[in-house]
Amino acid sequence: MIQVDRARPTLHAVPPIARIEPLTTARALRGPFDYLLGPGLEHVQVGTLLVVPFAGRDVLGVVVELAGETGVPPEKLAAPRSVVEPGVPAELVALARWITDEYCSTPARALGLVLPPGAGRATRPRVRTRRVLVAEATDAGRAALADGGQRLTPKQREVLETLAAAGPLPATQTGGDHGGLRRLADRGLLQLEQREQRRRPVHAAVGARNGAAPPRLTAEQIAALEPIVAALEAGDGALSPADRRFLLHGVTGSGKTEVYLQAAAAALRAGRNVIVLVPEIALAPQTVARFQARFGDTVAVLHSQLGQGERYDEWMRLRRGEARICVGPRSAVFAPLADVGLVIVDEEHEPAYKHEGDPRYDARRVAARRAHDAGAVLLSGSATPRPESVHALRRLRILRRVDGRPLPPVEILDMRDARHPLHPVTREALGDVRRAGRKAIVLVNRRGWSNFLSCRSCGRVWNCPECDVALVLHRSQRAVSCHHCGHSERVPRTCPDCGSVSLARHGAGTERIEQELIEAIGDPAFPVFRLDADTTATKGAIAKALGQFDAAPAGVLVGTQIVAKGHDFPDVTLGVVLDADQTLRFPDFRAEERTFSLVAQLAGRAGRGQHGDGRVLVQTLATDAPSIVAAARHDSDGFLAGELGRREILRYPPFASLIRVVCSAPDAADAHAAADAVARLVDAPGATVLGPAPLFRLRGKERSQLVIKATQRRAAVQSVAAAVDAVARTPVGRRVSLSADVDPQ
């Protein structure tokens, strides 16, 4: 490896040079590095994976540029050792390089996002295509069966008959052994061949009711689809990039998925390929199933719950163009499709689009970038879009549900004097649903039994020893646990400070509400299903629970936010939100947006079927909160206008970009000093630095935070990245871990 002296470049014209980013974790080394492409490597392109000698060992590297000259004397250039197949498309290399700069990351980390499944840092691929030996009868073999001209043993006849009837079969399914098959192959009676076998992922199909035939669109769906299709059919350069970015803002139940499906069909007709992002694969079984029902094997699904072999095969199908639609969560934005013509972002308001590890990318922003680079149409959709998207994208409205029903009326229930977690009106309404044999959904945005425990005599509160937060009681596990670090201990019986045995439980989570509902309803024919992180820890559990609720003739689904996510159950007539202001109590500029979307999304689950109108109840202490009032009126335009006005005054996104820097260390003074040092170094036009401010202790680490508000995003990101790097190298910086998060959620 040779570091180029960029200050005094003496350029040498030489045979092809590959600029390669080695996939190492070292932050200090700044690539790319030049390597000489000798004989046998003429076919190397941008995106080719190569094993290269680097810092005394062999590492995997990605070609990011080809060049005809170099600043390194040619005799000092090393040569790559070997090519590792498959490589990645050049456009994904460009996307990864953009992410490096956009999200304060490193080239190796960003390139790690676009590699084929299984090709981590190892210099040898860990997964490959699976091959099986396949036997197929030849014409001679068929003739031998028919005229008996060839001598065949009964066993040989049986094998040939099987193959003649079934067509090509894996050798193990022919009934013959290996030697026997070989002998028949040698006589030309059958053909033996290694063929690729696809590992096919299986998906739970929840409620894919609409089969493969598209329904007739409503007038509003047609009006929304028209400009999208026009943009897909417009030639290159006919439209500006801004005219290719759409926001489908349709009320819950307005048939947005159908618009996506038909837009995808239009893209395929135009010869282009499609990426469909969903917030979380486990929460989107209906969307996945609808795409598969409509497009069959043209759809590949990519997500982390697949086995590595399945993921590899799906990735290869996309890479080779055998599959032309990729459906998946945020990482599917890196699908290796060529010629992408349409990128869909479903439920674009969902925080799951933000990746919380380095690189801390926002898949919505990456989707916009990828669409821009590919000349593709971007189609984001939601019933409760983010103010950012309303501000930036061409908005297409759908105001009515496909079934022509109005959105259900929403009542706000004042809980300020309540003694019981369920308001009397809520109890009554549940009774009505039970008598009518329908379904209800109850949202409690917190799992566990109660939020915290305190001692009635001395006031002690049980906190996590590692984090500054209260421990939550989980009765069935007989434990109190921390929802931040997972710390868990036995439920206390006495107070260790004063010895009192009188302990108070405060608040109600899903576990307690489940119990309250069972007691209040008291009817085995009206079951209560609970859906939260505790009941769905195992793979496939969410889809299973949703499937059970869907299949039940009647009942209640109680759970955390999961219950409000885009599900389409036709017989839900009541939706209830408990403690609706809980999300407002977070000190976060998105608190209003989150609260509005939670209430509006839950409201959207009710009254979608032919069973008459739905009803929605919102229990809250903050009956006047603008986000709750607006959601109760289904007034998303009013809410968005108010929210955009507020953000403009306060300079929050979309009127500025936010960058958050968190410094954490065992010692609070170190964390604060590091944050302070970063604050002093950040210097970019139009950027203001807020903080340092203390954050609550997490996993035993004291934390200090800065928030940078920037009007010139790129300059601010660069300045923050440089400041963080500089502070990390100081004595105090070595005792602190620093992370920079662009577009924090």
Ligand X SMILES: Nc1ncnc2c1ncn2[C@@H]1O[C@H](COP(=O)(O)OP(=O)(O)OP(=O)(O)O)[C@@H](O)[C@H]1O
Give the nearer residue to ligand X in terms of CB position, either 221 or 583: 221
Residue 458 is labelled as binding a ligand: yes
736 binds, among Zn ion, ligand X, none (CB under 5 to 8 A by kind): none
The residues near 177 (Cβ < 8 Å, ≥ 6 apart) are: none
Among 8, 151, 216, 490, binds ligand X (CB under 6 A): 216
Among 48, 100, 156, 254, binds ligand X (CB under 6 A): 254
Place of tokens 């170094």: 681
704 binds, among ligand X, Zn ion, none (CB under 5 to 8 A by kind): none
Compute the distance between CA of residue 508 and CA of residue 519 in angstroms, rounded to an integer.
Answer: 15
Q: Is 484 in the site for Zn ion (CB under 5 A)?
A: yes
Please choose, out of 95-103, 217-225, 276-284, 336-344, the segment that lies near ligand X by the rule CB under 6 A: 217-225
Compute the CA torsion angle 648, 653, 655, 661 (nearest 10 deg).
Answer: 110
Among 217, 265, 293, 469, binds ligand X (CB under 6 A): 217
Place of tokens 């809410």: 639
Report, in Å, the least distance between residue 429 CB and ligand X.
21
Place of tokens 């950012």: 388
**Nearest Cα to 40, choosing from 32, 50, 30, 31?**
50
Compute the distance between CA of residue 177 and CA of residue 181 in angstroms, rounded to an integer.
Answer: 6
Q: Is 548 in the site for ligand X (CB under 6 A)?
A: no
Contact 572, 605 (CB under 8 A): yes
Residue 498 is labelled as binding a ligand: yes
The residues near 11 (Cβ < 8 Å, ≥ 6 apart) are: 69, 70, 71
Compute the distance between CA of residue 288 and CA of residue 296 in angstroms, rounded to an integer.
Answer: 11
Query: Could you tell me where the DSSP H helices lie in 335-423?
Result: 363-374, 387-392
Among 22, 47, 253, 744, binds ligand X (CB under 6 A): 253
Give the nearer residue to Zn ion in terms of CB position, either 127 or 482: 482
Give the nearer residue to ligand X in terms of CB position, either 244 or 256: 256
Among 80, 176, 604, 607, binds ligand X (CB under 6 A): 604
Sign of CA dihedral 404, 401, 390, 577: positive
The residues near 1 (Cβ < 8 Å, ≥ 6 apart) are: 22, 33, 53, 54, 55, 78
Query: Could you tell me where the DSSP H helices lie in 375-467?
Result: 387-392, 424-436
Compute the distance between CA of residue 19 and CA of residue 114 in angstroms, rounded to an integer.
Answer: 18
DSSP state for residue 675 in the 8-state scheme: H
Place of tokens 């010692």: 667
Q: Are strands 190-197 and 130-137 parallel, antiparallel or unpaired?
A: antiparallel
Among 362, 568, 643, 670, binds ligand X (CB under 6 A): 568
Please choose, out of 209-217, 229-237, 529-537, 703-711, the segment that lies near ligand X by the rule CB under 6 A: 209-217
Report, in Å, the least distance between residue 467 CB and Zn ion.
3
Q: Is 250 in the site for ligand X (CB under 6 A)?
A: yes
Among 324, 369, 487, 709, binds Zn ion (CB under 5 A): 487
Query: Could you tell me where the DSSP H helices lie in 462-607?
Result: 510-521, 541-551, 591-603
Please choose, out of 151-159, 252-260, 421-429, 618-626, the segment that lies near ligand X by the rule CB under 6 A: 252-260
Number of neighbouring beta carbons within 10 Å of residue 454 = 17
Q: How many helices (H) and strands (E) does the chain have?
A: 20, 30
The residues near 325 (Cβ < 8 Å, ≥ 6 apart) are: 264, 268, 273, 274, 275, 276, 291, 295, 298, 299, 300
CA 617, distance to chain mean position in Å, is 30
Please choose, out of 104-112, 118-126, 171-179, 458-466, the segment that lies near Zn ion by the rule CB under 5 A: 458-466
Sign of CA dihedral 553, 554, 559, 562: positive
Residue 104 is labelled as binding a ligand: no
Contact 287, 356 (CB under 8 A): no
Q: Is 464 in the site for Zn ion (CB under 5 A)?
A: yes
Give the nearer residue to ligand X in terms of CB position, either 564 or 679: 564
Rg (CA), the chain: 30
Give the nearer residue to Zn ion in terms of CB position, either 484 or 505: 484
482 binds, among ligand X, Zn ion, none (CB under 5 to 8 A by kind): Zn ion
Q: Residue type for 210, please?
A: N
Residue 663 is labelled as binding a ligand: no
Contact 17, 66 (CB under 8 A): yes
SS3 category, 36: strand
Please choose, out of 79-87, 243-251, 478-486, 664-672, the segment that lies near Zn ion by the rule CB under 5 A: 478-486
Site string for Zn ion, 273-312 (x = CB under 5 A): ----------------------------------------
Among 61, 80, 176, 255, binds ligand X (CB under 6 A): 255
Q: Is 597 in the site for ligand X (CB under 6 A)?
A: no
Q: Is 483 in the site for Zn ion (CB under 5 A)?
A: no
Q: Is 292 in the site for ligand X (CB under 6 A)?
A: no
484 binds, among Zn ion, ligand X, none (CB under 5 to 8 A by kind): Zn ion
487 binds, among Zn ion, ligand X, none (CB under 5 to 8 A by kind): Zn ion
- Token pair for residue 38? 């000798």
258 binds, among Zn ion, ligand X, none (CB under 5 to 8 A by kind): ligand X
- How many residues touch Zn ion (CB under 5 A)? 7
Compute the distance between CA of residue 46 and CA of residue 30 in angstroms, rounded to an integer.
Answer: 18
Contact 500, 458 (CB under 8 A): yes
Give the nearer residue to Zn ion in terms of CB position, either 464 or 545: 464
Q: Is 607 in the site for ligand X (CB under 6 A)?
A: no
Among 61, 80, 107, 566, binds ligand X (CB under 6 A): 566
Please choose, out of 486-494, 495-503, 631-639, 664-672, the segment that lies near Zn ion by the rule CB under 5 A: 486-494
- How many residues touch ligand X (CB under 6 A)? 20
Strand partners, 689: 708
467 binds, among Zn ion, ligand X, none (CB under 5 to 8 A by kind): Zn ion
Site string for ligand X, 377-406 (x = CB under 6 A): ------x------------------x----
Q: Residue type for 440, please?
A: A
Give the nearer residue to ligand X in terms of CB position, either 311 or 608: 608
Please choose, out of 47-55, 245-253, 457-465, 490-498, the segment that lies near ligand X by the rule CB under 6 A: 245-253
Q: Is 467 in the site for Zn ion (CB under 5 A)?
A: yes
Residue 485 is labelled as binding a ligand: yes
**Nearest Cα to 744, choosing from 332, 277, 280, 356?**
356
Among 203, 244, 249, 256, binds ligand X (CB under 6 A): 256
Report, in Å, the least distance between residue 46 CB and ligand X.
38
Among 90, 265, 485, 552, binds Zn ion (CB under 5 A): 485
- Token pair for residue 524? 């085995």
SS3 category, 330: helix
Residues found near Zn ion in the complex (CB under 5 A): 464, 466-467, 482, 484-485, 487
Q: Which residues are annotated as a binding site for Zn(2+)?
A: 455, 458, 464, 467, 482, 485, 495, 498
Residues found near ligand X in the complex (CB under 6 A): 209-210, 215-218, 221, 250, 252-258, 383, 402, 566, 568, 604
Q: Which residues are annotated as a binding site?
A: 455, 458, 464, 467, 482, 485, 495, 498
